[in-house]
Amino acid sequence: MIEENFGIVLIKMKNHFEKKLIIISALFFTGTIYAERFLDDPIAKLNSSITEIGFREESVISDDEVKINYYIKGSKKKALVFVHGYSCSSEYWWPQLEYFSKDHTVIAVDLAGHGKSGLNRKEYTMDAFGDDVQSVIEHLELDEVILIGHSMGGPVVVKAANKLGSKTRLIIGVDTFQDLSQEGISTFGRIAVNTMFRLFYDSMTQDIVDDFFIEESNHDLEKWIRNDAIETPKKVSQGTLDALLTMNYVKSLDELSVPIIALNGKSFMETKLDVNFEAYKNLEIELIDQVGHFIMLEKPTEFNAWLESKISQ
């Protein structure tokens, strides 16, 4: 039985225009779902190559001539596709890649400017990031995918799903989709934020990263993530921030009918439940206590159990 302190509570679910209130009291899973290998020494795993757990490292060229690096294990035409967030990379999915590749074809994508992908993108937009994911899936000629996005990876997989049509069976969001009513920041606000970011890059980056963690977060993991964010090229960070500021959920979701399920923490940012259920009908949101922004790294055993239950529905 899952630990009490994980405390997942399914607050509300709204599918087919009907709201339901459900409380999850426990999750049951076999010992194989545990992420012991990662938990033994998480930093050593994060500093190692994903190829060490049997993944192939490959790449494809995006529409705007950027090399998009990705990792793949398996040969089935139905796949789980993992997409990282702001200033992150495929390594952030290490415990999920190891576990789910036992029974599924699994792919992790480095978005342009991140991980081992190219740095030559001229303009970073959410549409371009969505194209990165689409390019990999179409290059591999996949028939069906479940798109899994953490943080910024959430809006990225929404954009990818818009482009992939019937290939997308399900979207999974991890600490993302806090406000699906957003239509993008105003031009004035965008200029103001971008100007502030240029002038106070180091301090603003530090402030952003500080909000990712709670007091109980693993301090070694926190340090690793913090260093990764600081080392991200300034052009990439600013371009990625601008892509987030201009994301229009209303328009993107209007073109979408794929089920969306999200697991959000309570510490990083408030999830606007009622607003979200009004904005997108085929939506399920679950909230988790006592964890920072990187749920899949901080609670890998419990997260894998949760994700297993969702993709097997």
Task: Copy the structure tokens of residue 84.
Answer: 């990282």
Residue 2: which pLDDT band, with cuts at 50, 70 and 90?
very low
The pLDDT confidence band at residue 12, using thresholds 50, 70 and 90, is very low
256 occurs within a structural domain: yes
Quick one: average pLDDT of 292-301? 96
Number of domains in the chain: 1
Lowest mean pLDDT segment, chosen from 33-37, 194-198, 264-268, 269-273: 33-37
pLDDT at 208 (0 to 100): 85
Residue 37 buriedness (CB in 10 A; 0-12 / 13-18 / 19+): middle
The pLDDT value given to residue 7: 39
Partner residues linked to 148 by β-bridges: 82, 172
pLDDT at 35: 62
- Cross-strand partners of 146: 80, 170
How large is the average pLDDT for residues 193-215? 88
How far is 112 from 129, CA to CA, in rounded Å? 7
pTM score, whole prediction:
0.89
Name the token pair of 73: 């294990």
Find which of 9-18, 32-41, 104-113, 213-222 is predicted with most confidence, using mean pLDDT.
104-113
- pLDDT higher than threshold 60 for residue 17: no
* Per-residue pLDDT at 88 exceeds 90: yes
Beta bridge partners of 19: 14
Query: What's the CA gap between 278 and 275, in Å, rounded?
Result: 5
Segment 157-182 mean pLDDT: 97
Give the 3-state secondary structure of residue 149.
strand
| The one-letter amino acid at 31 | G
- CATH code of 146's domain: 3.40.50.1820
**Mean pLDDT throughout 270-297?**
96
Q: 64 vs 190, which has greater pLDDT?
A: 64
- 147, part of any domain: yes
- The boundaries of the domain holding residue 250 are 42-264
First to last CA, the chain: 20
Mean pLDDT of 159-169: 97
- Tell whether 33 is covered by a domain: no
**CA quadruple 176, 179, 182, 187: dihedral, nearest 10:** -70
3-state SS, residue 59:
strand
Look at residue 281 and tell me if it is in a domain: no
Mean pLDDT of the 188-209 span: 87
Range scoring the smallest mean pLDDT among 23-32, 114-123, 136-145, 146-155: 23-32
Please give the average per-residue pLDDT across 60-80, as a whole number: 97
Q: Is residue 304 part of a domain?
A: no
